[in-house]
Amino acid sequence: MRATAHRMTMIAEGLPAMPEVLHRFVAAQPLHRFTDTRGLAWSLRDSGARGDTATAEPPPLVLLPGALGNGDSAWRIAQAFAAERRVLSITYPGGVTPELLALGLEELLRERRTGAIALWASSYGAWWAQASALRFPDQVAALWLGNTFVDGRDVAQHPLFDAGWLAATDSATVIARWDQALRARPDDLLRAVQLHMLHAGLPASDFHGRLRQVAGAAELPAPQAIANTVVFECEDDAIIAPATRARVRARYPKARHLAQAQGGHYPHIVAAELLVERMRDWLQ
Least confident of 37-51, 96-110, 203-217, 234-248: 37-51
Helix orientation angle between 20-28 and 189-196, rounded to the nearest 10 degrees:
50
140: three-class secondary structure by DSSP: strand
pLDDT of residue 58: 95
pLDDT of residue 11: 43
Q: Mean pLDDT score of the chain, rounded to an integer?
A: 94
Stretch 24-43: mean pLDDT, rounded? Answer: 97
Report pLDDT digits (tens) over 116-136.
999 999 999 999 999 999 999
pLDDT of residue 280: 98
pLDDT at 221 over 60: yes
- Of 112 and 15, more confident: 112
pLDDT of residue 57: 86
Least confident of 55-59, 218-222, 229-233, 251-255: 55-59
d(CA 130, CA 224): 10
Stretch 136-154: mean pLDDT, rounded? Answer: 98
The whole model's pTM is what? 0.93
pLDDT at 146 over 90: yes
d(CA 142, CA 45): 20
Percent of all residues in the chain with a pLDDT value above 90, rounded to a whole number: 90
Stretch 230-251: mean pLDDT, rounded? Answer: 98
d(CA 125, CA 278): 19
pLDDT confidence band for 12 (50 / 70 / 90):
very low
Stretch 68-77: mean pLDDT, rounded? Answer: 97
Return the number of other C-beta atoms located less than 10 Å from residue 41's C-beta: 14
pLDDT of residue 219: 98
pLDDT at 5 over 70: no
pLDDT at 161 over 80: yes
pLDDT of residue 14: 57
In the chain, count H helices and then E strands: 12, 8
Q: What share of the chain is helix, strand, coil (3-state, %, to 5)?
A: 50, 15, 35
Of 246, 231, 238, 229, nearest to 263 (Cα)?
Answer: 238
How far from chain centre, in Å, is Cα 165? 24
pLDDT of residue 8: 45
